[in-house]
Amino acid sequence: MQANRVDMRASLSSESKVEQGQPTVPFSSRDLGVLILVFLAYFLSARFELRLIHSQTSMGVIWLPPGIAFAAFLLKGNRVLPAIYLASLCVELTSFVPSIGALTIAGGNVAEVMLGGYLVNRYAEGANAFSRPVNVLRFSVMAGALATLVSAVVGTTVVWGPAGFSQPKTLTIFAAWWAGHALGVLVLTPFLILLLNGKHQPLHLSELLEMSALLVGLSVVSVVSFGPAGVFSDRVDTPLFLCVPFLVWAGIRFCPLEAAGACMVLCGFATWGSLHGYGPFITTTAMPLSLAAYLCVATTMTLTGAATVANQRELSEKLLETLYRLEKTKDVEITRLSSEIDFLRDELIRRVHAKSHSRRNQQITQQPFESNEVIWFLEAETENILYVSPAYEAVWGRPREELGCDVHAWLDAVIPEDRECAIQFIGQEFPGDRVETSYRIRRPDGAIRWIFDRGFVIRDPAGRPIRYLGLASDITELVQQGEVVPAQLEHRSPKTLDHEAASDNLSRRIKE
């Protein structure tokens, strides 16, 4: 139950996503200023439109107050509802509507905002509805088409009564009421939300010039189509084709804010021309509904295209950022591995130079025992195998690709009797800078080989192990010649290696 109440509060808040358990922000003087601003914007825009409509013989096309109310609700939440209700009530009272009727119409306007706001917050991400094309379509249907039916039904019922819907004139007024509210929501609400949410980026000089050219061209086409000098006043379809290229231009080249501004320019010229008796829709019997339908479709199309392009642009930026981070990480890893390879190379060179000063070492290097020495390189923290020399294939009789990066993969070749000793060799912490052990392996051809393995620790400046360098030698011939007794090696433990005489003999032979 508590989660349901939190979800309900989140759907009525000004943001599309609200964390559960977030404390309620107390009412402040800034909120009072917002209420006053919403009240004045709603009331003054309504009085301006009523005065403009009364001065003309035509019926109004767009009703701006619902657009202001929806924007305020989606941005600030249900705390602006009192200002919306009072502003709507004052508009009706100053229009000489009876008190009961004014109260009812104002309530219908508030119910319209609450229903549309709930649906948009619940299904279209609230104030972020214009960043994704699917949310733009949901906003158009839920807020523009469905929610505005509430105000139209309530208002028409108050004016004409429930029985008045059977009259054709009443249905015309209902359609005009609904179309005006829907157009106000679809045209004005996106522009106000995108302008006030602070998420838009300023345009560069080239973009400003392009936007200016777009607005000038759209204005010229709008004047030609809907103005008194319209050369296409007797054609209903021609303005659609004239304005569509500019709307597509705004949708694919600019952000949703600029696209919404272009829609407002078109709507302004179309409304002005229709109120003065100009434009192609004057010849139709249901002029307000036809013009509103045209403008609603054009606005929805433009905002959907702008949201699609903006979404793709955002995904492209995220992809480029990810690629940049991967490229940077790759360079760091290459540098690190290069340093490790240089260190290993220097270590091997140092050892080779040290052995070159001894005649005994020169003789040993000619023996098969030394030629079969396997070099391995292990990362201390992850125990991943970084490198194994090609001699592994000659000694183990297996390809190096079978090892991969898993240090435990080589246990498959160790005979069961010696696996415990081999596992201890892997898992123990190196007490010093070196550890030794021996074990037997079984080659794929069935041959048993004796292996003497030594590990050397490489530490960082703080003394922590970072890499293990190992040398694994095939001592099968030494065992067969009797220089090392197998019984002494079978019970060898890496922790007691320094105390066994057989191990000392073998270690001295290899070290020399």
DSSP assignment of 271-282 equals: HHHHHTT-SGGG
* Domain endpoint, select from 199, 219, 248: 199
**Which residues form the domain of 58?**
1-199
Indicate if the pLDDT at residue 159 is higher than 60: yes
**C-alpha distances in Å from residue 288, one per residue of 143, 182, 271, 472, 477:** 19, 12, 9, 90, 103
- The answer to whether residue 273 sits within a structural domain is no
The region, left, alpha or beta by phi > 0 then psi within -120 to 50, assigned to residue 397 is left
Q: What's the mean pLDDT in 280-308?
A: 80
The kind and range of the H/E element at 303 are helix 287-356
19: its two tokens:
């964390």
- The answer to whether residue 266 sits within a structural domain is no
Beta-strand (E) ranges in 406-475?
434-442, 448-459, 465-474
Averaging pLDDT over each range in 42-51, 73-82, 450-459, which range is the top one? 73-82
Q: Give the predicted TM-score (pTM) of the model.
A: 0.56
- The answer to whether residue 109 sits within a structural domain is yes
- The answer to whether residue 129 sits within a structural domain is yes
- The answer to whether residue 326 sits within a structural domain is no
Please state whether beta strands 465-474 and 448-459 pair in parallel, antiparallel, or not at all (unpaired). antiparallel
pLDDT digits (tens, 9 = 90+) for 401-419: 877 777 777 778 889 888 8
Tell me 367's DSSP state: S
- The answer to whether residue 194 sits within a structural domain is yes
Order the strands of the 385-388 sheet from edge to edge.
Answer: 385-388, 374-379, 465-474, 448-459, 434-442
* Domain endpoint, select from 171, 199, 227: 199
* Domain endpoint, select from 143, 177, 199: 199
**Domain harbouring 34, CATH code:** 1.10.1760
**Domain harbouring 499, CATH code:** 3.30.450.20
- The answer to whether residue 280 sits within a structural domain is no
Say if residue 383 is exposed, middle or buried (CB neighbours under 10 Å; 0-12, 13-18, 19+): middle
Looking at this protein, which amino acid is placed at residue 13?
S
The reported pLDDT for the residue numbered 109 is 94
Residue 225's pLDDT band (boundaries 50, 70, 90)? confident
Indicate if the pLDDT at residue 375 is higher than 60: yes
Q: State the total domains in the chain.
A: 2
Residue 483's pLDDT band (boundaries 50, 70, 90)? low
pLDDT digits (tens, 9 = 90+) for 179-215: 889 999 999 999 999 999 877 778 788 888 988 899 8
- The answer to whether residue 465 sits within a structural domain is yes
Identify which of 384, 379, 414, 378 has the alpha carbon closest to the alpha carbon of residue 398.
414
The reported pLDDT for the residue numbered 285 is 58
Looking at this protein, which amino acid is placed at residue 198?
G
294: its two tokens:
């045209």
Please state whether beta strands 465-474 and 434-442 pair in parallel, antiparallel, or not at all (unpaired). unpaired
Share of the chain above pLDDT 90, in %: 19
| Range scoring the smallest mean pLDDT among 235-239, 296-300, 303-307, 443-447 | 235-239
